Chains A and B, each alone.
Chain A
Amino acid sequence: MPLKKALCAATALTLASAGAAFAETTITIATVNNGDMIRMQGLAEDFTAKHPDIKLEWVTLEENVLRQRVTQDVAAKGGQFDVMTIGTYEVPIWGKQGWLVSLNDLPESWDAGDLLPAIRNGLTIDGELYAAPFYGESSMVMYRTDLMKKAGLDMPEAPTWDFIKQAAAAMTDKGNEVYGICLRGKAGWGENMAFLTAMANSFGARWFDEDWKAQFNTPQWSDTINFYMDLMNNYGPPGASTNGFNENLSLFQQGKCGMWIDATVAASFVTNANDSTVADKVGFALAPDKGLGKRGNWLWAWSLAIPAGTDAEDAAKEFIAWATSKEYTALVASKEGWANVPPGTRTSLYENPEYAKVPFAAMTLGSINSADPTNPTVDPVPYTGVQFVAIPEFAGIATQVGQEISAALAGQQSVEEALEKAQALTVDEMEAAGY
């Protein structure tokens, strides 16, 4: 190793003599290729101008690849990244393992007290904040006001599933490629299962009972999935079993969906006249319920976290404090308008009169506030998480369950078969995990 050290020293010397009088720290940031993150990357000059001693390396990947990379790296302690973009699912699991650096000591001015309580709670374990939310989301109904009017219906602010079905039937016009409802069908725990788990909550279904017994053999799940199949088969677009968030977004933007129940962040995309052909004809409503006291909306926050063992902890904290600050929000607003700021993380944003003019602001806040990760469904559960179960095995199990349901949606098996297989594989995996 002396050779390597010597080489390092030599490199450092060259760098220093090349004009950098300060010690430069490089932080590697792993992030998703979502619009808000790409915007952050574009605005990062603001950060590097303020911190000339910190250099940023971006690793921008598609969500599935990113998740695989960061999980692999944090679990094997590879130390490839200094800042990771992770979600409300990973934070509690990794935090408990001691894999993340606590962010309790971020500066006063960052104002942790300003974070929305629902979001903040999801990222806090035993009093330690392990990740800073970059943007938060729930889910809600987005619908075409023009088609609703044409159908002679009026969307209530808090619709029921029965109304959704009635409206979907009335809006569907397959001859003109207008489908009453677009929902996720693509298999994956973060795709169809996020939607279906949240939907199932409103039907009174749950993943596990208090003894961690899988519940796919209950009538509540059967009702949920049958209702979903009925909606999708009769009023959904073709190829629904391969549609994820992104596919549905582009369908909605092209005016092919009457209603779409999905992430609240989609609101800024569907109302953006540059990309959306229906920008001025979109209304919003809370996610539907079944009269059981729970709505089918989820809670998620893409957050920035620092893996334990990084050699650039201070610089990483500086970066996180910048990217999730009120000042960053203001920066985005000044450059791209209020509709494009990362939503759903701070109370102050929703108190801002400028932001209140954004058409979907109030509905987003209402949806986020109505989600309760510790008490997600009608009956008590042993887990936390609205559209997920915060245990390490969940991602693997739910993706396989999602594939069974996706196959049923594609007509390759019946709902009963899908649920039977889901039950069997869940029991099996939970046993393997030692429950």
Chain B
Amino acid sequence: MATQHSRSAARLMMAPAVILLLGWMLVPLIMTLYFSFKKYLPLRGGDLGWVGFDNYARFVSSSSFWPSVQATLLIVGGVLLITLVLGVLLALLLDQPMWGQGVVRILFIAPFFIMPTVSALVWKNMFMDPVNGLFAHLWKAFGAQPVEWLSEASLPSIILIISWRWLPFATLILLTAIQSLDSEQLEAAEMDGASPLARFGHIILPHLSRAITVVLLIQTIFLLSVFAEIFVTTQGSFGTRTLTYLIYQRVLESQNVGLGSAGGVFAIILANIVAIFLMRIVGKNLDA
């Protein structure tokens, strides 16, 4: 259906978005690359000359590099796992007949509207504080020693805080997908005597696969750059220093722009590895 004319019109219409994004990607990227080969210390007078790959070598050989990659992957993986598993379960639940479904949905969706800074502050102070937090009161009420959430269980705590924000998002997308499922198909399977588990495994889950990949893709994009939740709660202590946070420490706390930029390049590489990996799955699922 596409004529030569409409093709060039299409290009023209795509141009603003593509050019803007290209600029938004390339300009900072080139500047980051430029800084990454420099010894650039703003607090010591700025540009102190070219240093080749020194910054890269230093960034990778630092003892905090691999733990930070690990922390990043654990947080992304943990949140994805929790939001997907619970998301599917909650979506199944919300799909059932019940009273006040609209209100329940409003309760479910609310955390997604909350600023990450606010949610981190609220969780940290009012729930996880080992003396005045609500959890501490709860633990004491049962005669248990309050848990020091953000130090003893730092990673799980951060995963919990982030999951709380993303669970509604996952649930809603999955719920919409479940609702679009042909109910006759399910009823037919029920007639045939398929167990609920079999019905879930053979009909519902395959139907959800596209929705799941979408959730996977979108959340990964946002989770790779999680910052506020860590900045507010642990500031990267207790094994919660992600790659993003490590770069933050290099650029802003140590004011070593060269080293931080080299880290930025590594983060871009990591993001792209994850992206390619994801695109492979998602790309296949998004065809059709």
- Majority SS at the chain A contact face: helix
Question: CB of A64 within 8 A of chain B?
Answer: yes
Q: Is the CB of A432 within 8 A of B259?
A: yes
- In A399-414, the 8 Å CB interface with B consists of 399-400, 402-403, 406-407, 409-412
10 closest A-B pairs by beta carbon, nearest first, are A396-B254, A239-B130, A392-B43, A75-B42, A410-B151, A239-B148, A241-B151, A403-B237, A187-B237, A396-B253
| The one of B44, B131, B148 that contacts A241, using a Cβ cutoff of 8 Å | B148
Query: From A69, which residue of chain B is reached at the shortest CB distance?
Result: B252
Within 8 A of A (CB), among B125-154: 129-132, 145-146, 148, 150-152
Judge whether A76 and B44 touch: CB under 8 Å: no
Q: Does A373 contact B (CB under 8 A)?
A: no
Which of A131-139, A343-351, A423-431 is the interface stretch? A423-431
What are 30 A-to-B residue pairs whose CB atoms are below 8 Å? A68-B253, A71-B43, A75-B42, A97-B45, A237-B130, A237-B131, A238-B148, A241-B151, A242-B148, A242-B150, A242-B151, A250-B132, A392-B43, A392-B255, A395-B255, A396-B253, A399-B249, A399-B253, A403-B237, A406-B237, A406-B238, A407-B239, A409-B151, A410-B148, A410-B151, A412-B151, A424-B63, A425-B63, A432-B259, A433-B256
Closest Cβ of chain A to B152, distance in Å, is 6
Q: In the complex the two chains form, is B237's CB within 8 Å of A238's CB?
A: no
On whether the beta carbons of B253 and A395 are closer than 8 Å, the reply is: yes
B235 partner residues in chain A, CB cutoff 8 A: 64, 187-188, 399, 403
A170 at interface by CB-CB < 8 Å: no
Count of A-B residue pairs with CB < 8 Å: 101
Chain A stretch 188-226: residues in CB contact (< 8 A) with chain B? 188
Q: Beyond the given A187-B235, A238-B130, A247-B129, could you list 15 further A-B residue pairs with CB under 8 A, ordered by the A residue number?
A: A75-B255, A238-B145, A239-B129, A242-B130, A392-B43, A392-B255, A396-B253, A396-B255, A399-B249, A400-B249, A402-B237, A403-B236, A409-B151, A412-B151, A433-B256
Return the CB mask of B246-277 against A: 1 if under 8 Å, else 0. 00011011111001000000000000000000
Report B-chain residues with C-beta under 8 Å of the C-beta of A68: 252-253
**Residues of A contacting B43 with CB < 8 Å?**
71, 75, 93, 97, 392
Please state if A395 and B254 are interface contacts (CB–CB under 8 Å). Answer: yes
User: Is the CB of A393 closer than 8 A to any CB of chain B?
Assistant: yes
| Contact (Cβ within 8 A) A238 B146 | yes
CB <8 Å contact, A429 and B237? no
Contacting residues, chain B, for A34 (C-beta < 8 A)? none
In this assembly, does B96 line the interface, its C-beta being within 8 Å of a C-beta of chain A? Answer: no
Residues of B within 8 A of A71 (CB): 43, 252, 255
Of B58, B152, B236, which one neighbours A410 at CB under 8 angstroms? B152
Is A256 a contact partner of B250 (Cβ separation < 8 A)?
Answer: no
Chain B residues whose CB sits within 8 angstroms of the CB of A400 once the complex forms: 64, 249
Complex interface residues of chain A between 241 and 290 (CB less than 8 A to chain B): 241-242, 247, 250-251, 256
Separation in Å of the A80 CB from the closest CB of chain B? 15
Rounded to whole angstroms, the CA-CA distance of A409 and B151 in the bound complex is 9
- CA of A250 to CA of B250 in the docked complex: distance in angstroms? 32
CB distance from A298 to the nearest CB of B (A): 20
> Does A72 sit within 8 A of B, measured CB to CB?
yes
CB distance from B249 to the nearest CB of A (A): 6
Closest A residue to B241 by beta carbon equals A403
Residues of A within 8 A of B42 (CB): 75-76
Residues on the B chain within 8 Å of A407, using CB: 237-239
Best-buried of A64, A72, A75, A237 by chain B (most CB within 10 Å): A75
A397 at the interface (CB under 8 A from B): yes
Q: Which residues of B contact A256 (CB under 8 A)?
A: 131
CB distance from A278 to the nearest CB of B (A): 15
Q: Counting CB contacts under 8 A, is A326 at the interface?
A: no
Q: Is A39 an interface residue (CB 8 A)?
A: no
Q: Mark B229-240, 1 if CB is under 8 A from A, else 0.
A: 001001111110
Please give, as numbers and ranges, the residues of chain A lying within 8 Å of B44 by CB-CB distance: 392, 433
**Closest approach, in angstroms, between the C-beta of A407 and any C-beta of chain B?**
6
Interface size on B, residues (CB 8 A): 35
Does B252 lie within 8 Å of A429, measured CB to CB?
no
**B124 smallest CB distance to A (angstroms):** 9
Among B150, B237, B239, chain A packs the most CB atoms within 10 A around the CB of: B237
Nearest-Cβ distance from residue B221 to partner chain A, whole angstroms: 25
Inter-chain contacts of B255 with A (CB < 8 A): 71, 75, 392, 395-396
Partner of B63, one of A250, A410, A411, A421: A421
In the bound assembly, the distance between CA atoms of A188 and B42 in angstroms comes to 21
Q: How far is the CB of A14 from chain B (nearest CB, A)?
A: 34
Residue from A72, A188, A241, A396 within 8 A of B256 (CB atoms)? A396
Closest to B59 in A: A432
B256–A432 CB distance below 8 A: yes
Determine whether B62 belongs to the interface, using a CB cutoff of 8 Å to chain A: yes
A251 to B132 Cα, complex, angstroms: 9
**Cβ-based interface call for B186 (8 A):** no
In the complex formed, the residue of A with least CB distance to B258 is: A432
Distance in angstroms from B267 CB to nearest chain A CB is 18
Q: In the complex, what residues of B have CB within 8 A of residue A432's CB?
A: 58, 256, 259
Chain B residues within 8 Å of A406, by CB:
151, 237-238
Q: How far is the CA of A407 from the CA of B150 in the complex (A)?
A: 11
Chain B residue at smallest Cβ distance from A189: B253
B41 within 8 A of A: yes
A239 proximity list for chain B (CB < 8 A): 129-131, 146, 148, 150-151
B239 contacts which chain A residues (CB < 8 A)? 407, 412
Q: Which residues of A contact B132 (CB under 8 A)?
A: 250
Distance between A115 CB and nearest chain B CB, rounded to angstroms: 26
Q: Give the residue name and chain of the A residue nearest to B124 (CB).
A: A242
A177's nearest neighbour on chain B, judged by CB, is B131
Chain A hits for B45, CB < 8 A: 97
Cα separation A428 to B55 with both chains bound (whole Å): 12
B64 neighbours in A (Cβ, 8 Å)? 400, 425
- The distance from the CB of B262 to the nearest CB of chain A, in whole angstroms, is 11
Closest to A98 in B: B45
Residue of B nearest to A241 (CB): B151
From A99, which residue of chain B is reached at the shortest CB distance? B43
Task: State how many angstroms separate the Cβ of A130 from the closest Cβ of chain B.
Answer: 15
